Amino acid sequence: AQKITQTQPGMFVQEKEAVTLDCTYDTSDPSYGLFWYKQPSSGEMIFLIYQGSYDQQNATEGRYSLNFQKARKSANLVISASQLGDSAMYFCAMREVSGSARQLTFGSGTQLTVLP
Amino acid sequence: EPEVTQTPSHQVTQMGQEVILRCVPISNHLYFYWYRQILGQKVEFLVSFYNNEISEKSEIFDDQFSVERPDGSNFTLKIRSTKLEDSAMYFCASSPGQGLTDTQYFGPGTRLTVL
């Protein structure tokens, strides 16, 4: 079974509008972290936001926020007031902490295009 | 702001040749990683390195691959005899080692093309 599922291969949003990128995950580990990374066309991977499994509040980082629904095992990224520079591939990733594992497992990504 | 750097940005090699990809992690970070991304596919974990030894590796990381921290700043990935299927973007990452909140910061990647 896929550990991280991103069901939207591509999304379009109008500039200045908000957009939600979906991510669901599968783990039996009670301790885990969820990460979102942005990959522009230039190829680098840019860390955006983190949510821990024990965090009571949804993470926020500037225009990025995470809609964390633990019971549903979802960690959707919300980008508010989209900008043209937000056009990129977005990856959701998970780290399961038990056994001191540190590897990240990535989803297949969502290609976001911001329209002027 | 400190960042992970990688060289070269693009490497072209012939099948069967050895390649070494180089990375300089963020200076106070304790954990180092290599990931790869075949064109159009998801990012895949290869190996993690801590305290001068491999701490985890994936099935992809077979005997053809090795990692080394030859000095206090560089972290290298060696592929001994490259295959066509090794063509991919290779990312180095590092993290400070902060428990559950530990965040991995990625370098810009090295695009490896095997001909």
| pLDDT tens for each residue of A12-23 | 999 999 999 999
Sign of CA dihedral B82, B87, B91, B97: negative
| Positions of chain B with pLDDT lower than 50, given as ranges | none
What pLDDT, on a 0 to 100 scale, did the predictor assign at position A16? 97
pLDDT above 80 (res A91): yes
A84 contacts A114 by C-beta, under 8 angstroms: yes
Are the beta carbons of B45 and A93 separated by less than 8 Å? Answer: no
Q: Distance from A21 to chain B by nearest Cα, in Å?
A: 16
Task: Using alpha carbons only, give the angle A54, A60, A64 rounded to the nearest 5 degrees.
Answer: 130
Residue in A closest to B5 by C-alpha:
A44
**Residue A56 and residue B9: Cα distance in Å, rounded?**
41
Q: What is the pLDDT of residue B70?
A: 86
8 Å CB contact between B6 and B109: yes
Chain B residue at shortest CA distance from A104: B45
Name the residue among B102, B106, B109 with its Cβ closest to that of A102. Answer: B102
Question: What pLDDT shows up at residue A98?
Answer: 73
Distance of CA A97 to CAs A14, A47, A101, A102, B109, Å?
A: 38, 19, 5, 7, 26
CB B76 within 8 A of CB B66: no
- DSSP H helical segments within chain B, as ranges? none
Region of residue A99 (phi > 0: left; psi between -120 and 50: alpha; otherwise: beta): left
Instruction: Please give the pLDDT value at position A88.
Output: 97
Q: Are B20 and B76 in contact (CB under 8 A)?
A: yes
Instruction: Tell me if A33 and B111 make a contact (CB, 8 A cut-off).
Output: no
- Closest among A47, A56, A103 to B34, alpha carbons compared: A103
Amino acid code (one letter) for A6? Q
pLDDT given for residue B98 in this prediction:
79
Q: Please name the residue of chain B whose CA is at the shortest distance from the CA of residue A44.
A: B108
Residue entry with tokens 């079974």: A1
Q: With an 8 Å Cβ cutoff, are A46 and B111 in contact?
A: no
Residue closest to B75 by CA, chosen among B10, B6, B16 = B6
pLDDT at A2: 67
Chain B touched by A2 (CB under 8 Å): no
